[in-house]
Structure 1
Amino acid sequence: MDRRTGYSNRRTVATNPVGCPTPTPRSNRMPDHSPLITGVDVVVTNPMQAPLGNFVLVRVTTDQDGLHGWGDATCSGSELAVVTMIEEHIAPALIGQPAGRIEHLWHTIYHLPYYRSGSVHLSAVSGIDMALWDIKGKQAGLPVCELLGGRVRDRMLTYRSVSGSTFDEVLERVHHLQQLDYQVIKVQVAVPELESGYAVPASDAQQAATEEAFARGVPPAETWEPEPYTQLIPRLFEFLRAELGNSVQLIHDVHERVTPSQGLRLACDLAPFNLFYLEDLLRPEHLDTFRLVRSQSPVPLAMGEVFCNPWEGQELWFEHLVDYARHDLAHVGGITAARKIAAVCEARGILTAWHGPGNISPVTHMANAHVSLSVPNFGIQEFDANWDERVEEVFSTVPVYADGHVTVPLSTGLGVDVDIDAARKHPYVRRMRPTVRRSDGTPWAY
């Protein structure tokens, strides 16, 4: 890949490398009228030239003139590894295959590396999967949600996030979003004793250190202590409920930054404050603690953002240990994986709340919407992008916010196209995620 342009040097993989299975001739195949895959292109673009702003876009082309599909394989912090995974290890197995056999191809490329799963591999699978659904919708002349059973609803409840250095700053920003008719808001606050935290304003010293690290091309270093945070957050919610009453529903994201015992205590301490849900309370390595949390706290729980295949964390759904499935469609296996996760959750009354931040591209946001529109057990759809006009120069469509809900224009496929020339004007930017450590130097979760 050429980092200067953000575009693959191998724009079309159109040969059958030695060792790859030769596609079955059309005459020996059941007629399915499916176009054959002729190329897989990868484009990396950062329209806003921002940290965590690189998008890894996948275009699958076919032997039918003009018929192609777009997918999103973005994996912040591992973007170039995903590019290599697609170009070197996945694309050769797709050339000559029927694009319409989505389930077949999903399992083919899932099992292809043998040492499978993980964020890089499944982000690559996710991007290919979205592109194949986009092709199928375009070929059928239908939006993808119609292929998934049709719309169950016309719009999707959504939320935005606010943060501040003080409780009063958080309250002021909640009031601002209420004026824009948001009914659900995620709230975060900085810990006074710390220079930084998750999704909160950093100190001037931390910002300067971060910029210096970016200039050197290395990860910024941040210091975190979970105990003062665990003590602070219940006080934030006590303050907000005293000021707001129940006029708005509130979410908080722990982002896995506490120990299991601290997470249990925090869930119990937040019980009086009527949260919409408490997000990512525990790390994937500590899923067993959800049983203790469920037995001792009534707070609704959401989990799944960092899961990297549809089977990861399945005990949470089977035992109804959480209330919302928070998977990221760009990392968990795309639309194919999401619809299965939603079906498993539906049988247990668990609702969907797909991950929708600004560091995944509009292609994933459109995929989120098509699944969210078509599943009966929809809960909420995050759309928290803060994009500007530079993103709209690259992508033909983005979701639309109005009255506490998000909608998407419905056309064939996913309904979004990419201007490749515009994308190439905004190349890859090396802005690494921070390394987080305790004050004693112990590495900690981001």
Structure 2
Amino acid sequence: MPRITSARVIVTCPGRNFVTLKIETDEGAYGIGDATLNGRELAVASYLTDHVIPCLIGRDAHRIEDIWQYLYKGAYWRRGPVTMSAIAAVDMALWDIKGKLAGMPVYQLLGGAAREGCMVYGHANGSDIAETIERAHEYLEQGYKAVRLQSGVPGLAATYGVSGERFYYEPAKGSLPDETVWSTSKYMRHVPQLFEKGRNALGWDVHLLHDVHHRLTPIEAGRLGKDLEPYRLFWLEDATPAENQAGFRLIRQHTTTPLAVGEIFNSVWDAKQLIEEQLIDYIRATVVHAGGITHLRRIAGLADLHQVRTGCHGATDLSPVSMAAALHFGLSVPNFGIQEYMRHTAETDAVFPHAYSLSNGLMHPGDKPGLGVDIDEALAAKHEYKRAYLPVNRLEDGTMWSW
């Protein structure tokens, strides 16, 4: 049995901050896991170094389930983004090790491929509707079958999802959080225009998505969903904060637009009511913030019983390690729906060489043993950590609001 002999945390910033856990065994195999928590990276790094790693030394690396339960139940203080991101990093690294020792890619250990590839969607962001549509055309020319449309809102200086980069969106920056201003009424007037023009320009053979980013009340979300019904969205994402899961019941009463939520969920308990009452159509929990491959499979299993499909978060605040893990997971589960894919910068790709690939709108994790991704530690060391925060949001009268 492979015994864990050492583990260490690697913090690097090749354009943005990433936290990586590397676990080594006495049989020479090692595995890596992503522990990045956007804007709170060092909290997870400390949790791993000070509290988790000492408990791993000497354990059988093959006992993934037992180690997961040990770290979850044994800490007494359960769930939460810091704890679950740390557990996820361990879980990913152990699956990586198991795959390497078996000589197989992780998706084969999860039951094999359930499809030829994972459909992904890109982000078409523009300062106005015309620019957003132009960006969407660029994605379609690259073979994408699904595109998320986000546009600047007239009268607002900044809008979620819109940046100066054509294919990248990185909101975390600065030594202190940026403060942005929000108007629900201006947004609600603008979005139906975006999708009316978007559907007319892009046609009906492309899946169109949109992210509200938790900014509406349930009744406002229901109204927006109804307004968007003629344009047949693939989904309306994060329409309202989901701490009160029953809030989605009110949205369901007013619209048939498919609903997606869950990128900030940490466990199956965050999604239990939403799934069991079929209040959502897609669960967006991600491998790094929801306890790794082991726990994400449980969430997907519950979702499958209720005809809810997966649509995992995949922004650039997840390292290529998480992207690979998400693709192994997505390739294997029966109720896969779609995978978000924001391309990393060339700097990041150099630090994290990987086997996954994109072709004609589908991604595949590759067939290298394990997760198929590595970390160049020498190169990582050249990119020092830089503190960065996500923005905060206020209404026009100064009231704090969901960003």
Q: Quickly name the TM-score band, shorter chain normalised.
A: over 0.9
Cα distance between partner residues in 2 of 1:385 and 1:226: 30
SS in 1 for 2:22: strand
Cα distance between partner residues in 1 of 2:228 and 2:295: 32
Match for residue 168 of structure 2?
none
Q: Which of 89, 92, 98 matches 1:127? A: 89
Q: Which of 8, 13, 17 matches 1:46? A: 13
Q: Which of 172, 176, 185 matches 2:134? A: 172
Cα distance between partner residues in 2 of 1:277 and 1:332: 21
Cα displacement (A) at 1:41: 0.5
Match for residue 431 of structure 1?
388
Cα distance between partner residues in 1 of 2:344 and 2:349: 12
Q: Which runs of 5+ in 2 are unaligned?
A: 165-170
Moved more, 241-250 or 342-351: 241-250
Q: Which of 158, 163, 182 matches 2:120? A: 158
Cα pair 2:355 2:368 within 8 Å, conserved: no
Cα distance between partner residues in 2 of 1:198 and 1:249: 20
Give aligned-pair identity as a percent.
Answer: 42
Q: Deviations over 1:116-164 (max 9, x none)?
A: 2111111111101100111111111111111111111221111101111
Q: Which of 332, 336, 339 matches 1:378? A: 336
Q: Which of 394, 398, 407 matches 2:364? A: 407
Cα distance between partner residues in 2 of 1:349 and 1:116: 28
Cα distance between partner residues in 1 of 2:232 and 2:293: 32
Q: Which of 29, 34, 37 matches 1:67? A: 29
Cα displacement (A) at 1:85: 0.5
SS in 1 for 2:269: coil
Cα pair 1:260 1:286 within 8 Å, conserved: no
Cα distance between partner residues in 2 of 1:425 and 1:310: 38
Cα displacement (A) at 1:398: 5.1
Matched, 1:309 2:290: no
SS in 2 for 1:305: coil
Cα distance between partner residues in 2 of 1:429 and 1:132: 28
Cα pair 1:397 1:415 within 8 Å, conserved: yes
Residue correspondence of structure 1 range 348-367 to structure 2 within 5 A: 348-367=306-325
SS in 2 for 1:349: coil
SS in 2 for 1:182: coil
* Matched residue type, 1:75: L
Matched, 1:391 2:359: no
Cα pair 2:355 2:372 within 8 Å, conserved: no
Cα distance between partner residues in 1 of 2:163 and 2:292: 32
Residue correspondence of structure 1 range 239-254 to structure 2 within 5 A: 239-254=197-212
Cα distance between partner residues in 1 of 2:244 and 2:68: 29
Cα pair 1:230 1:266 within 8 Å, conserved: yes
Match for residue 37 of structure 1?
4
Cα distance between partner residues in 2 of 1:386 and 1:91: 28
Cα pair 1:383 1:406 within 8 Å, conserved: no
Match for residue 216 of structure 2?
258
Q: Which of 227, 231, 236 matches 2:189? A: 231
The RMSD of aligned alpha carbons is 1.6
Matched, 1:114 2:76: yes
Cα pair 1:129 1:333 within 8 Å, conserved: yes
Cα distance between partner residues in 2 of 1:387 and 1:167: 26
SS in 1 for 2:268: coil
Moved more, 233-242 or 362-371: 233-242
- After TM superposition, the score normalised by the length of structure 1 is 0.86
Residue correspondence of structure 1 range 72-111 to structure 2 within 5 A: 72-111=34-73
Residue correspondence of structure 1 range 290-309 to structure 2 within 5 A: 290-309=248-267
Structure (1 or 2) with the larger CA radius of gyration = 1
Q: Deviations over 1:389-418 (max 9, x none)?
A: x22321121532221111222111111111
Match for residue 57 of structure 1?
20
